[in-house]
Structure 1
Amino acid sequence: MRDKDEASAMRKVFWALWTLVLLLKLAVAAKLPLFVDEAFYWQEGRHPAAAYSDLPGLTAWLARLGVELGGNHTLALRAPFLLIAALVPWLLARIAAREFGERSGWLAGCYGLLLPLSGTLGVLALPDAMMALATLLCLDAGARLLREVDARSAVELAAGLALGALSHYRFIAVIGVGFVALMLLPEGRRALRDVRVIIAVAIGASAWAPLVAWNMDNADAGLRFQLVERHPWSFHVDGLWFVAIQALLVTPLLFAALALAGWRGARDPSPVTRYLALLGSLVVLGFFVLGFFADTERVSFHWPLPGFLALLPLLPMVLARWPGWARGLTAGLAGATLLAMLGYYVAVSMPELRARSAGEKWYPSNFAGWDELARKVRARQQTMPAGTRIVADNFKVGAELGFALDDPRIAVLDHPINHKHGRAPQLRLWGLHSAGRADWDGKPVLLVVGVTEVEYKNLLQRYHDLCAMVGPLPPPQTINIDHGRQRFALFAFDGKPREGACTTPAMAWIDTPAAGSKIGREFQVGGWAFKDGVGLQRVEVMLDGRVVAQAEYGGELPGVREYWKLADGGRSSDPQHPKVGFTAKVALDAEPAGRHWLGLRLHGRDGSVEDWAEQPIEVGRR
Structure 2
Amino acid sequence: MQSEPAATRARRLFWALFIVVLGIKIAVAMRLPLFVDEAFYWQEGQHLAAAYSDLPGLTAWMARLGVAIGGQHLIALRMPFLLTAALVPLLIVRMTHRTFGEADAWTAGSFALLLPLAGSLGLLAVPDAMMALATLLCMDAGACLLRKVDAGHALELAAGLALGALSHYRFIAVIGVGFLALLAMPEGRRVLKDARVLIAIALGAAAWTPLVWWNYDNADAGLRFQLVDRHPWAFHASGLWFIAIQALLVTPLLFVGLLGAGRDALRSPLIAARYFAMLGLMVVGGFFVLGFFADTERVSFHWPLPGFLALIPLLPRFIAAWPRWAQRATAALALIGLAGVLGYYVAVSLPAVRARAAAEKWYPANFAGWDDAADAVRDELRDMPPGTRVLADNFKLGAELGFALHDPRIAVLDHPLNRKHGRAPQLHLWGLDEDPRALLANGPVLLVVGASEVEFKNLHHRYLELCRMVGPLPAPRVLNVDHGRQRIALFRLMAPADGPCTAPAMAWIDAPTTGARVGASFEVKGWAFRQGVGLERVEATIDGRVVGTLRYGDDYAGLEGNWPGLVDPGAPKLGFSGRVDTAGIAPGRHWLGLRLHGRDGAVEAWPEVPIEVAR
Short-chain TM bin: over 0.9
Task: Find the aligned partners of 2:244 and 2:559 in 1 and give their Cα distance.
Answer: 41
Match of 2:529 in 1: 530
Match of 1:476 in 2: 476
SS of 1:447 mapped into structure 2: strand
Match of 1:102 in 2: 102
Match of 1:248 in 2: 248
Match of 2:557 in 1: 558
1:612 matched to 2:606? The reply is yes
Match of 2:308 in 1: 308
Q: CA deviation at 1:439?
A: 3.7
CA 220–88 in structure 1, closer or farther in 2 if over 3 Å, else same = same
Match of 2:139 in 1: 139
Task: Find the aligned partners of 1:326 and 1:54 in 2 and give their Cα distance.
Answer: 43
Q: CA deviation at 1:117?
A: 0.8
Deviations 1:59-109 (A, max 9, x none): 000000000000000000000000000000010011001111110000000
Alignment of 1:321-336 (within 5 A): 321-336=321-336
Q: CA deviation at 1:435?
A: 2.2
Alignment of 1:359-398 (within 5 A): 359-398=359-398
SS of 1:612 mapped into structure 2: strand
Alignment of 1:145-156 (within 5 A): 145-156=145-156
SS of 1:502 mapped into structure 2: coil
Q: CA deviation at 1:607?
A: 2.3
Task: Find the aligned partners of 1:225 and 1:449 in 2 and give their Cα distance.
Answer: 25
Alignment of 1:45-56 (within 5 A): 45-56=45-56
Deviations 1:309-357 (A, max 9, x none): 0000000111101111111111011111111111111111110111010
Asked whether the 8 Å contact 1:558–1:577 carries over to 2, the reply is no
Task: Find the aligned partners of 1:86 and 1:322 in 2 and give their Cα distance.
Answer: 29
Match of 2:593 in 1: 599
Asked whether the 8 Å contact 1:480–1:613 carries over to 2, the reply is yes
Task: Find the aligned partners of 2:582 and 2:463 in 1 and give their Cα distance.
Answer: 36
Asked whether the 8 Å contact 1:92–1:108 carries over to 2, the reply is yes
**Count of matched residue pairs:** 615
SS of 1:614 mapped into structure 2: strand
Match of 2:157 in 1: 157
SS of 1:293 mapped into structure 2: coil
The one-letter code of the counterpart of 2:281 is: S
Task: Find the aligned partners of 1:313 and 1:346 in 2 and give their Cα distance.
Answer: 30
Q: CA deviation at 1:214?
A: 0.4
The one-letter code of the counterpart of 2:111 is: Y
Q: CA deviation at 1:559?
A: 1.6
Q: CA deviation at 1:589?
A: 1.3
Match of 1:539 in 2: 538
Task: Find the aligned partners of 1:469 and 1:456 in 2 and give their Cα distance.
Answer: 20
SS of 2:595 mapped into structure 1: strand
Asked whether the 8 Å contact 1:45–1:63 carries over to 2, the reply is yes
Match of 1:508 in 2: 507
Alignment of 1:258-297 (within 5 A): 258-297=258-297
Q: CA deviation at 1:120?
A: 0.2
Task: Find the aligned partners of 1:498 and 1:530 in 2 and give their Cα distance.
Answer: 23
Task: Find the aligned partners of 2:390 and 2:184 in 1 and give their Cα distance.
Answer: 57
Q: CA deviation at 1:306?
A: 0.4
Deviations 1:161-210 (A, max 9, x none): 00000000000000000000010000000000000000000000000000
SS of 1:487 mapped into structure 2: strand
Deviations 1:527-558 (A, max 9, x none): 00011111111111111001101010011111
Q: CA deviation at 1:605?
A: 1.5
Q: CA deviation at 1:2?
A: 6.3
Task: Find the aligned partners of 2:582 and 2:128 in 1 and give their Cα distance.
Answer: 52
Deviations 1:246-280 (A, max 9, x none): 00000000000011011111122322111110110
Task: Find the aligned partners of 2:154 and 2:568 in 1 and give their Cα distance.
Answer: 70
The one-letter code of the counterpart of 1:21 is: V
Q: CA deviation at 1:562?
A: 1.4
SS of 1:233 mapped into structure 2: coil
Asked whether the 8 Å contact 1:414–1:435 carries over to 2, the reply is no
Match of 1:236 in 2: 236
Task: Find the aligned partners of 1:456 and 1:605 in 2 and give their Cα distance.
Answer: 23
The one-letter code of the counterpart of 1:493 is: L
Asked whether the 8 Å contact 1:393–1:412 carries over to 2, the reply is yes
SS of 2:3 mapped into structure 1: helix
Task: Find the aligned partners of 1:435 and 1:461 in 2 and give their Cα distance.
Answer: 20
Q: CA deviation at 1:442?
A: 4.3
SS of 1:498 mapped into structure 2: coil
Q: CA deviation at 1:499?
A: 2.4
SS of 2:199 mapped into structure 1: helix
Match of 1:568 in 2: none
Q: CA deviation at 1:434?
A: 2.3
1:577 matched to 2:571? The reply is yes
1:517 matched to 2:516? The reply is yes
Asked whether the 8 Å contact 1:178–1:279 carries over to 2, the reply is yes
Alignment of 1:3-82 (within 5 A): 3-82=3-82
Task: Find the aligned partners of 1:231 and 1:335 in 2 and give their Cα distance.
Answer: 34
Task: Find the aligned partners of 1:614 and 1:2 in 2 and give their Cα distance.
Answer: 62
Asked whether the 8 Å contact 2:53–2:425 carries over to 1, the reply is yes
1:179 matched to 2:154? The reply is no
Deviations 1:498-553 (A, max 9, x none): 22111111110000000101110100000000111111111111110011010100
Asked whether the 8 Å contact 1:141–1:154 carries over to 2, the reply is yes
SS of 1:253 mapped into structure 2: helix
Task: Find the aligned partners of 1:457 and 1:153 in 2 and give their Cα distance.
Answer: 57
Asked whether the 8 Å contact 1:162–1:203 carries over to 2, the reply is yes
Q: TM-score, normalised by structure 2?
A: 0.99
SS of 1:234 mapped into structure 2: coil
Task: Find the aligned partners of 1:138 and 1:412 in 2 and give their Cα distance.
Answer: 40
Q: Give the one of 577, 580, 587 matched to 2:581.
A: 587
Q: TM-score, normalised by structure 1?
A: 0.98
Asked whether the 8 Å contact 1:249–1:337 carries over to 2, the reply is yes
SS of 2:235 mapped into structure 1: coil
The one-letter code of the counterpart of 1:23 is: G
Q: Provide runs of 4+ in structure 1 moved above 4 Å.
A: none
Q: CA deviation at 1:453?
A: 0.5
The one-letter code of the counterpart of 1:510 is: I
Asked whether the 8 Å contact 2:111–2:312 carries over to 1, the reply is yes
